[in-house]
Chains A and B, each alone.
Chain A
């Protein structure tokens, strides 16, 4: 203790000497006092109340204090630690992440950090450990080849369970009034006869196909070129903006042609009809700038986790690998979040309470 006292005295003296009105001097005092406070604080925290040393803000450093104790020690599992889950920007994904995070935190005692980043950017997080898991991947064969097959920084964690469809949609009222638009699967150029009706200030003389977030899987520019359509891709910027535009068009009885997808809670709120393009055949989408068919069915939405997490023995990996649900499950949770304004945790808890047998099967 005397050592510390001497040290403090030296700092004290130094501080008063250098205090002659210089900013450096004052900063030095500040630093010295901070150091003092800091040591006092940590020792006090350690001795007086362990609860005072606190979970770390974002990325816990190895030296960081106690992590939150598991609330339910299910079996004798390996400690879970921190799991970084990418949160891609659509509510369906948010529902996946909400339920998985809830279970990881409440049932396995993990610390979950959700990272709101785009699909492609998420994969870049595997090599540096910024991302441990992506819960709903739509296709992305090129990224799969690079990160899973070649670099081996990520591993396939099996299907998500939901079955995806991407395509072009119009309001049902529009399809009823113009049934010929549904013949686009055999005669895609019929779409050109409707181009005028889908025109907006953004598409100029062409028809508008309203795409969503620029980061979503989209081949629309290639499809327009491949099928020779008089259309222009316009991006709404986000799923929410697309939802809003579609709802506004339906409310106001205006035509709209939109890039859309299921599972999607919003599709349960509005009446949209899929405009089928020529069905996908092998090779029809090889040249991404000239695609002559509709999107393939995304029957196998899947999960990817970092190799680091997969080999860590963490129970989180097992839960993420086992996680597997249906379009209806996802839509239910997504609607809690987006329609009923619940927080992610509230929504997840509601679903978890209502479906105990489903998630029990995912636990390690």
Chain B
């Protein structure tokens, strides 16, 4: 027996016994449930004392907003300052014609990256116009730019500190964890409490949401600089600042470029949802479409968002890569040629801008040149609705009755201490003692927030959606890992799907299944699958070829290869994928509160839609974060048990930024 297959056998054995422990625990739960169900349950009440006190806090802040020094001297000036920045940038854009804006961004593509990107950028801007979404796209772009610049101004320095100080990293990591688990939606009501509604509040929400990857990836980049280089610099007598300025920052430049890129992608997913607190732009189109159930309009806005994401992604990701190559002298193009290209491009852009101004080309794209994608999409939607009603209704009813309702019933009618003990037990088996403690504390806090019943209902939705997501994700991921052709087909689809904010997925799901909990699950699955597929594929492809060869030599069949070799060996990637799946599903299930998924998601929606439900909404937002912590701890810890824990953590930091960011 080779060493590889021996270690393989041991792994499988560990996994099995862990699986057996889990089965035992769940069996025990079933028995105890039969005996104790209906006892010690916590029924939902809309006027729990805690909600009323939170309403009280809101009323107090509202009443004293104009006199509290914190508001008068700190928060209001921040809001006004950001408002001023947005107005200023809007004004700058308003002075260029659509042709000029397109030319400038096209020139950026050509100068920073290359001609392919330039074509993409120009095409995207023309498409905004053709879809009649020019103004909205520019408004969204303005908000993103302001939010991202501020986010980076705060995040990169913090990231540098976290890269150089272990203590600071330790303090900040759990905070960043929570920020990344917290669904976009849950940020809104606390922010309106402090900053009211409007573009400034939306920008602040966006910059906070986009902060974690900026800090994380910068820290990762600084830490990734080889210790030899740092030591060499130090032995030559460099001061700490010199090491940072001359060694660490230059060597981490491509990673920091990634941080910029990820921050932008995060900002994009948030800025759309801030339409709920009166931010203008593409999000507004999506909300209007959602209100009117206009599938075609969502499609248009979704396409515009993906294009905007692609433009920003290419401009930043490729730019940092290309610049890094050039910086290291790997680029073949001569300095003189480059200089000519750069100057020539900007001059050409300048000529277009001035020419367009002289010819009185309007600021907004001409309204009469449009492409009508919405109408055909709406016809398809109508056809599906009228003709597939029986099928979709049947699926939904069966699923709700046989899977969803039973699970929700079990979770809500189990005694709450039993649920906590069982959750802690599951966490212990999968991820160890610390995860068990975290899980128990998170659930105890949910009890304290007086939203137990709704939290359990949401938990049931999440569990089912994650199960379905993993089933589909692993299937597609393994297929993609085993076939280069399939991988090549699915990758661009995944890329596009991962740039769509959660919001965009709601309407197609609603069109098919009406406003129900099933819709929420469906939207969550669609939303989370791409990230899972990608992680599973990477994991399976990462299995060492020697192991595969050994297994092939031992005569494994194709199924044996997948189930006995590739999946077990890619276990860490699978866990990482589950972890990502959980975070994404939770985010979506909450947003789906807008379309009938109920429970905590609805409480959050009601929190900023109904005056008296503010307190409930706040408590629900916190409960969601706690559920996120619970699920995250349960699914992430196992990686830390293995010997290469630190590598796994690094990967996790990177991927969670990547996956959460892009989606």
Is B349's beta carbon under 8 Å from chain A? Answer: yes
Contact assessment for B358 and A48 in the assembled complex, using a CB-CB cutoff below 8 Å = yes
**Most A Cβ at <10 Å: residue of B90, B199, B331:** B90
Cα–Cα distance between A237 and B503 once the two chains are bound (Å): 14
Contact assessment for B514 and A245 in the assembled complex, using a CB-CB cutoff below 8 Å = yes
Contact assessment for B196 and A127 in the assembled complex, using a CB-CB cutoff below 8 Å = yes
Contact assessment for A34 and B104 in the assembled complex, using a CB-CB cutoff below 8 Å = yes
Which B residues are in CB contact (< 8 Å) with A57?
90, 93-94, 135, 138-139, 142, 280, 363-364
Q: Contact mask A284-314 → B, CB, 8 Å, 1/0?
A: 0000110000000000000000000000000
Cα–Cα distance between A65 and B362 once the two chains are bound (Å): 13
**Looking at the complex, which of A23-31, A271-279, A354-362 is the stretch in contact with chain B?**
A23-31
Is B62's beta carbon under 8 Å from chain A? Answer: yes
Q: Quick one: which of B139, B287, B291 contacts A58, CB cutoff 8 A? A: B139
Q: A29-B342, A29-B343, A245-B514 given as contacts; is B611 within 8 A of A125 (CB)?
A: no
Cα–Cα distance between A20 and B46 once the two chains are bound (Å): 64
Count of chain B residues with Cβ under 8 Å from any Cβ of A? 94
Residue of chain A at shortest CB distance from B197: A124
Contact assessment for B606 and A214 in the assembled complex, using a CB-CB cutoff below 8 Å = yes
Is A241's beta carbon under 8 Å from chain B? Answer: yes
Is B168's beta carbon under 8 Å from chain A? Answer: no
Contact assessment for B46 and A121 in the assembled complex, using a CB-CB cutoff below 8 Å = no
Residue of chain B at shortest CB distance from A337: B292
**Looking at the complex, which of B20-28, B395-403, B425-433, B581-589 is the stretch in contact with chain A?**
B395-403
Cα–Cα distance between A121 and B515 once the two chains are bound (Å): 23
Cα–Cα distance between A127 and B66 once the two chains are bound (Å): 10
**Looking at the complex, which of B105-113, B216-224, B565-573 is the stretch in contact with chain A?**
B105-113
Residue of chain A at shortest CB distance from B288: A116
Which B residues are in CB contact (< 8 Å) with A125?
196-198, 278
Is A234's beta carbon under 8 Å from chain B? Answer: yes
Contact assessment for B342 and A128 in the assembled complex, using a CB-CB cutoff below 8 Å = no
Count of chain A residues with Cβ under 8 Å from any Cβ of B? 74
Is B605's beta carbon under 8 Å from chain A? Answer: yes
Mark out the residues of chain B between 67 and 106 whose CB falls within 8 Å of any chain A CB in the assembled complex.
Answer: 79, 86-88, 90-97, 100, 104
Cα–Cα distance between A75 and B226 once the two chains are bound (Å): 76
Residue of chain B at shortest CB distance from A61: B87
Contact assessment for B363 and A128 in the assembled complex, using a CB-CB cutoff below 8 Å = no
Contact assessment for B327 and A22 in the assembled complex, using a CB-CB cutoff below 8 Å = yes
Contact assessment for B358 and A214 in the assembled complex, using a CB-CB cutoff below 8 Å = no
Cα–Cα distance between A47 and B400 once the two chains are bound (Å): 67
Is A107's beta carbon under 8 Å from chain B? Answer: no
Q: A214-B606, A248-B389 given as contacts; is B357 within 8 A of A128 (CB)?
A: no
Is A235's beta carbon under 8 Å from chain B? Answer: yes
Cα–Cα distance between A213 and B346 once the two chains are bound (Å): 50
Q: Quick one: which of B88, B278, B342 contacts A121, CB cutoff 8 A? A: B278
Q: Contact mask B379-410 → A, CB, 8 Å, 1/0?
A: 00000000001000000110011000100000
Which A residues are in CB contact (< 8 Å) with B518?
201
Report 5 cross-chain contacts, Cβ distance below 8 Å, ordered by A residue: A56-B90, A57-B138, A59-B87, A116-B275, A241-B515
The 7 closest A-B pairs by CB, nearest first: A54-B363, A215-B609, A61-B87, A201-B400, A33-B346, A130-B198, A23-B323
- Interface of A with B (CB < 8 Å)? 16, 19-23, 26, 29-30, 33-34, 36-38, 40-42, 44-45, 48-49, 51-59, 61, 63-65, 89, 115-121, 124-125, 127-128, 130-131, 140, 142-143, 146, 150, 201-202, 204, 213-215, 221, 234-241, 244-245, 248, 288-289, 338
Knowing that A21-B331, A57-B363, A201-B397 touch, tell me 11 more A-B residue pairs with CB under 8 angstroms. Answer: A21-B327, A29-B343, A37-B353, A40-B353, A57-B93, A57-B139, A120-B608, A130-B197, A202-B400, A215-B609, A238-B290
